[in-house]
């Protein structure tokens, strides 16, 4: 696909939206880790936060390859839609593990939805689609692991 200025802007907006979601998730997991008492769950949440940080770097790298700098202030339409992690932070304050796990599930489900929306748009190129698909699979797998915690 040949990038015009317009499609480049669209692509950057999409990638920034995903970065904003990942920032929320990183913060969400860091907060969750601080509030949960179970040490193994705490360690897992910190792993997920680190994974989100790596995903952010991957997407920022794609924006830089398009010749744009990464502006972390906005996040475009996808970012604006995704305040789920921030809204559920209040459930962390009680230190109730189940509530925290449920909040993480809600955050991840919202992230998956936004990732799918990003992939449905046709402005991404092969490399970007591959990276976003890989990240989506990892987030889906994280969600499955967290849901399994809820059952145990």
SS3 46: helix
Split into its structural domains, the chain has a count of 1
Quick one: which of 7, 123, 131 has its CA closest to 57? Answer: 131
Quote the pTM value: 0.85
Using alpha carbons only, give the angle 23, 28, 30 rounded to the nearest 5 degrees.
95
How many whole angstroms separate alpha carbon 3 and alpha carbon 126?
A: 13
pLDDT tens digits, one per residue of 21-73: 999 899 889 988 988 888 999 999 999 999 999 999 999 999 999 988 875 55
Question: Residue 59: which CATH number?
Answer: 1.20.1260.10
Q: What is the reported pLDDT for 80?
A: 46
pLDDT band at 6 (very low <50, low <70, confident <90, very high): confident
Q: Which residue has the tokens 């969750």?
A: 32
Average pLDDT (124-140) is: 96
pLDDT band at 136 (very low <50, low <70, confident <90, very high): very high
Q: What is the CA radius of gyration of the chain?
A: 16
Question: Domain range holding 48?
Answer: 5-151
pLDDT tens digits, one per residue of 73-127: 544 444 444 455 555 555 666 668 888 888 899 899 999 999 999 999 888 999 9
């Amino acid at each position: 696909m040949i990038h015009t200025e317009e499609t480049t802007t669209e692509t950057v907006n999409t990638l920034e939206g995903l970065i904003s979601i990942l920032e929320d998730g990183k913060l969400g997991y860091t907060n969750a880790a601080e509030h949960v008492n179970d040490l193994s769950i705490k360690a897992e949440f910190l792993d997920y936060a680190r994974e989100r940080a790596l995903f952010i770097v991957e997407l920022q790298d794609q924006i830089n390859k398009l010749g744009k700098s990464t502006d972390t202030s906005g996040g475009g339409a996808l970012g604006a839609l995704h305040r789920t992690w921030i809204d559920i932070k209040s459930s962390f304050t009680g230190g109730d593990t189940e509530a925290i796990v449920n909040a993480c599930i809600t955050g991840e489900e919202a992230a998956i939805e936004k990732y799918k929306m990003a992939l449905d748009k046709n402005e991404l190129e092969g490399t970007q689609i591959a990276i976003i698909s890989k990240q989506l699979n990892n987030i889906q797998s994280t969600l499955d692991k967290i849901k399994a915690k809820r059952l145990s």
